[in-house]
Amino acid sequence: MEVGGGALPSQRLIRMRFRYKYYGSTSVDDSTSAQAFHLVPDALRPPTAFDGVLRRDSHAHLAFREAMSALHDVVVSDLRYRGRDPSAYKAWMANNEQAMLTAYMAGAGDIQAQSTVLRDELKTLRDRKTALLAPFYKARQKYFNWLYTANRDTWFVLDPVISVHPERLLFEAFSQDESTYCAVSVRHDVFDRTGEMAFGTTNIDYSSSLYDEFQKIRDYKATRLQVDPAGFTVASGDDPAFREEKIDLPDSWVRGFLQVSSAMTLPATVVELHPMDLHNLCAALRQRKERAGPRSLRFELSPNGPAKLVLEPWEQSFTARRSSVVGEPLTEPRTIRIWGRRRLLTLERLIAVATRVRVHLLGTGMPSFWVLELGDITVTLGLSGWTSNDWSDAGRFDLLQPRHEVSDMTKQTVAAALQRDWMNSSAALSSQTGLSRRDVDAALGLWVQAGRAVFDLPSGRYAWRELAREPLPLEALRFSSPEEASALALIHAGGARLRSVSAAGPRLVIDGEVRQGPHRFTPQVVLNADHQWLDGQCQCNFFRQNRLRRGPCAHMLALRQLAQPRLAERPAPTVAPATPGTSEEAA
């Protein structure tokens, strides 16, 4: 992995290059009675191997097919808002602007006659230009259309990661819009193992055709899954079967992955739902589209009562009568709102085979995790606070901060113990190493933040899993801009103070005071009903020069971070009910 890039005056841009080396390509052998998936791992990583056949005496075939299909949907997912293409309008305006201006300003016949001659000449030239470039534009569009339909692989950002552990296989992927994480955990009980197994983590050569082959899995066929170790045994790296891939990723993609992984370790309110509750939500989202915010899904939780799920802005509510809060009972009512709810449609195919649904809610505007159990297969869908991943850009940068300092010796001791067992709980690691539970939890959190371990929500244990072949530059990834680093420093130094959070119609206005050296600033932040930035004010030089064109200043970011607990407690701002429309969900 290579790290490089340039920088704007107020923004650091890091380019990360991931390098892969595959021996051949992933292939599928399909016949009337058997199907074999040969997944090619990255030969630059430590050897990783698995070989097994799905058991025929259970519904493993169906569950495995649907789980891998959900993983594919996340790999290709890109829900970023795209406005209408203005190219046709701009072309029309370019052809007619002069005519419109001439018609408006023509005041004499001779001038109009001259302009007519010039306009006709200009139109002739533009027509010739259009005729000359038309084959190029047509061929270019045809190529991109073909590329998207016939060779979708070039649109993928990063191949999925597969980990072979003593108890399970773990498939992980991150969406192209940097907002959705998916993990498919498959216990070894699903397979009858027929070959060698080497524990480790690797990237697999993934293609869109592999998804089509997954759709052909049937229970009357013997389905074999093999992580092929052939590339690790080839003596010469010059073998023509080897092929290398280099993919440049923005630092925001990697930072988003690390923040979602780190968020798994945070305390959460866990609500258990029936699969039909998820079905009702998905059905309602399919039937209606919103024109105005807030576009959130609101959980209304009460002690000893069922959870109530409300779709805003329609206030359409569903009472999950078979729901319950897992863990410590609630002592008072609690309301939690999450955004980007249309990403839940990824789970539609899993509802029919799911036996249990658990939702891990970190708080209003924070990430949420939806865990669906399909027998011995578990699918975890991690959603950032918004589809546009705003939670990492606007006051969520603290997720990658150390919560407790530990020595390097402690970190290495915990890592060695976890590597030895591959999966274990912090309590068991504390007993094995003789370290305090607090030190073990802190060390594990740091390894998760570094992308070298992952927390398994269903089992409540940690697993050793290295996201990249080489250590990630965590110091460079921690903040997306110098302003975020300055904001956190101001908070830690006690220089930021929150005055008020007030409602102004559908908007929320945050006021406060920030002291930085001898200077005193009174920043103001304005959010919409979905807690997204609308406007802001500050007296600092950065804001005066750039306004919000280059993002908020450090003083506004610090104020937004301090206001988060208060925002989580506030009810949704009142807005006029929206009627069903056709606009895309922006949050």
pLDDT confidence of residue 147: 58
Confidence of residue 402 (pLDDT cuts 50, 70, 90): low
Euclidean distance between CA atoms 193 and 178, whole angstroms: 35
Euclidean distance between CA atoms 561 and 366, whole angstroms: 12
Which among 253, 69, 245, 82 has a CA at the least distance from the CA of 175? Answer: 253
> Tokens 């046709």 sit at which residue?
88
The answer to whether 210 touches 28, Cβ cutoff 8 Å, is yes
Sign of the C-alpha dihedral, residues 403, 409, 411, 417? negative
pTM: 0.72
Q: Residue 16: how many CA atoms within 13 Å on its side-chain side?
A: 21
pLDDT above 80 (res 409): yes
pLDDT confidence of residue 374: 92
pLDDT confidence of residue 292: 76
CB within 8 Å of 82: residues ≥ 6 apart? none
Sign of the C-alpha dihedral, residues 104, 105, 107, 110? negative
pLDDT above 60 (res 237): no
- Tell me the per-residue pLDDT of 372-390, one tens digit each, with 9 for 90 and over: 999 899 999 998 876 655 4
Which among 581, 548, 587, 579 has a CA at the least distance from the CA of 81? Answer: 587
Name the percent of the chain lying above pLDDT 90.
22
CB within 8 Å of 241: residues ≥ 6 apart? 23, 24, 234
Q: Does domain 482-569 have CATH number 3.30.470?
A: no
pLDDT confidence of residue 565: 78
Which among 169, 226, 190 has a CA at the least distance from the CA of 58? Answer: 190
Please give the helix or strand (H or E) that residue 445 lies within, else none.
Answer: helix 437-449
Expressed in percent and rounded to 5, the helix, strand and coil fractions of the chain are 35, 30, 35
pLDDT confidence of residue 61: 87
Structure tokens at 329: 């009972």
pLDDT above 60 (res 248): no
Q: Which is more confident, 393 or 124?
A: 124
Task: Name which of 166-170, 316-320, 562-566 the model is least confident about.
Answer: 562-566
Confidence of residue 196 (pLDDT cuts 50, 70, 90): confident
pLDDT confidence of residue 233: 46
pLDDT above 80 (res 229): no
Task: Name which of 87-96, 235-244, 247-256, 540-549 the model is least confident about.
Answer: 235-244
Structure tokens at 422: 């591959």
Which three-class secondary structure state does DSSP give residue 405? Answer: coil
Residues of the chain with CATH 3.10.450: 482-569
CB within 8 Å of 184: residues ≥ 6 apart? 67, 68, 70, 71, 170, 171, 172, 377, 378, 379, 380
Euclidean distance between CA atoms 555 and 484, whole angstroms: 9
Euclidean distance between CA atoms 385 and 298, whole angstroms: 13
